[in-house]
Amino acid sequence: MHQYSIAEMSQGLERGDFTSVELTQHFLDRIDEHNAEINAFVTVTAELALEQARNADAVRAAGQAGPLTGVPFAHKDIFCTDGVRTSCASKMLDPFVAPYDAAVVERMREAGMVMLGKLNMDEFAMGSSNETSYYGPVKNPWDTERVPGGSSGGSAAAVAARLVPAATGTDTGGSIRQPAAFCNLTGLKPTYGRVSRYGMIAFASSLDQAGPFGRSAEDCAYLLSAMAGHDERDSTCANEPVPDYIGALDQPLKGIKVGLPKEFFGEEMPASIRESVDAAIEVYRAQGAEIVEVSLPNAHLSVPVYYVVAPAECSSNLSRMDGVRFGHRCEDPKDLQDLYTRSRAEGFGDEVKRRIMVGAYALSAGYYDAYYLKAQQLRQLISDDFKKAFEQVDFLLSPTAPETAFKFGEKGDDPVSMYLSDIYTIAVNLAGVPALSMPGQTVDGLPVGIQLIGNYFDEARLLAAAHQFQLATDYHKASPEAFA
């Protein structure tokens, strides 16, 4: 049952081959059996899940089921869930039980989906390896000596190990796409504003976007249909109609133009990754797509620009974690200042502190123009590059990451080498366009992600282009043997 796609589960439920309670229990049993090996779940909400499943079965019996009614999934622990701990994998929020549901949580519940629990992540979504979690690292089901990617590493590992059929994640600089790449999944970062950020704990508000993890583009289309849409409670959420993502999957590739950004195809791209990307390009060519070279002349500035903008926004967003209103509070504070400083010193991990310090520095009076303002100007140039590229082509194709899953500790002492993990993904967040990662040809038995980038609000065609690729290839069907 755990190898079914979302569509197969939905059809099986509709035919009465199994109930949502049976399906849910099957996945809860798998979590019981395997979660300790990979540490993907930080909270399992078994009772709540079974209650939602019973409810879904009743809705179906009454003839009111939608395509997702009764299908299990899980949330990254960055989404507020009413009455359930919402930790962001930080000691700071370890005791925090959210008093309300995030918009995404609400929507998926309204679609009838069954939440199995909350998934591990890098602390406050800062990282590319899931090594910064307060609850310990997540392991990659393909090789448990390796990282699953980050920051949505728990989401990726749980779906890859088939502990859950699908999951939500968030992507500020690559955190859906890079773990999807490392774990052989399809993961989509929608256009900035496509999905409401209400109730999603903020890291860098102008970059954060929620999206789905699934085995295939088709799975992602099902999930995005539930997640996307206008929400008045997030002023940056776009008032754009939500197209029929599932119905749009069958668009042929003939005649579409796929651009290869020449700046991404330089000497730095390792030969093994290049081979996998070349194989993907051939699949598109064989299906009638035209492959052209394009240029993103300012893309090389993305990582430095991001590491000013993201820390600046995080230093501001995380100032609310002060020991007074949320989560961790130090013991016996002497006075208010002591309460603030000790609660924050104890509650945040090293990477989060590093980002807060960099951000506070970049925003300080003497440096604001030199760093933050400059970064915002460069960000505009990066966005303009994408706009120009999309005047020539329908999609851009690149690797998702410059490597396959690396070993634990490999980048531990060198934050910059960790930051470079996102070299192909970050420009997309700075511009706000949608992009997905899908499985390509493996290297030494490890998954490689192929990134497809689309124009603003073009998710339907982007998912269709990935779906057509997946009709022609089997890469996405492979799952780790140890969790078969």
Catalytic positions, written as ranges: 76, 151, 175
Contact residues for ligand GLN, defined by CB under 6 A: 125-128, 151, 171-175, 203, 310, 422
Return the closest-CA partner of residue 470 out of 170, 168, 157, 214: 214
Helix axes 302-317, 374-392, angle to 10 degrees: 120
Rounded to an integer, what distance in angstroms lies between the CA atom of residue 437 and that of residue 212? Answer: 11
Question: Least distance to ligand GLN from the beta carbon of 85, Å?
Answer: 20
Judged by beta carbon, residue 121 or residue 238, the one nearer ligand GLN is: 121
Judged by beta carbon, residue 416 or residue 484, the one nearer ligand GLN is: 416
Say if residues 169 and 187 touch (Cβ distance below 8 Å). yes
Question: Least distance to ligand GLN from the beta carbon of 320, Å?
Answer: 18
Helical residues (DSSP H) of 412-483, grouped into ranges: 415-419, 426-431, 459-472
Rounded to an integer, what distance in angstroms lies between the CA atom of residue 298 and that of residue 276? Answer: 25
Rounded to an integer, what distance in angstroms lies between the CA atom of residue 303 and that of residue 157? Answer: 26
What contacts 416, CB < 8 A, 6 or more positions away? none
Question: Least distance to ligand GLN from the beta carbon of 312, Å?
Answer: 12
Judged by beta carbon, residue 56 or residue 375, the one nearer ligand GLN is: 375
Cα first-last separation, the chain: 11
Say if residues 20 and 58 touch (Cβ distance below 8 Å). no
Cis geometry, peptide bond prior to residue 151 (ω within 30 degrees of 0): yes
Question: Least distance to ligand GLN from the beta carbon of 128, Å?
Answer: 4
Judged by beta carbon, residue 131 or residue 171, the one nearer ligand GLN is: 171
Question: Least distance to ligand GLN from the beta carbon of 153, Å?
Answer: 11
Extended strands (E) in 355-458? 395-399, 435-439, 449-453
Rounded to an integer, what distance in angstroms lies between the CA atom of residue 193 and that of residue 213? Answer: 18
- Phi, psi (5° rounding) for residue 114? -110, 115
Judged by beta carbon, residue 66 or residue 402, the one nearer ligand GLN is: 402
Question: Least distance to ligand GLN from the beta carbon of 200, Å?
Answer: 11
Rounded to an integer, what distance in angstroms lies between the CA atom of residue 197 and that of residue 126? Answer: 17
Provide the 3-class DSSP secondary structure of residue 409: coil
**Distance (Å) of CA 358 to CA 128, 154, 189, 344, 377:** 18, 27, 26, 16, 19
Question: Least distance to ligand GLN from the beta carbon of 123, Å?
Answer: 10
Cα 281-286-290 angle, rounded to 5 deg: 65
Judged by beta carbon, residue 68 or residue 80, the one nearer ligand GLN is: 80
Judged by beta carbon, residue 125 or residue 296, the one nearer ligand GLN is: 125
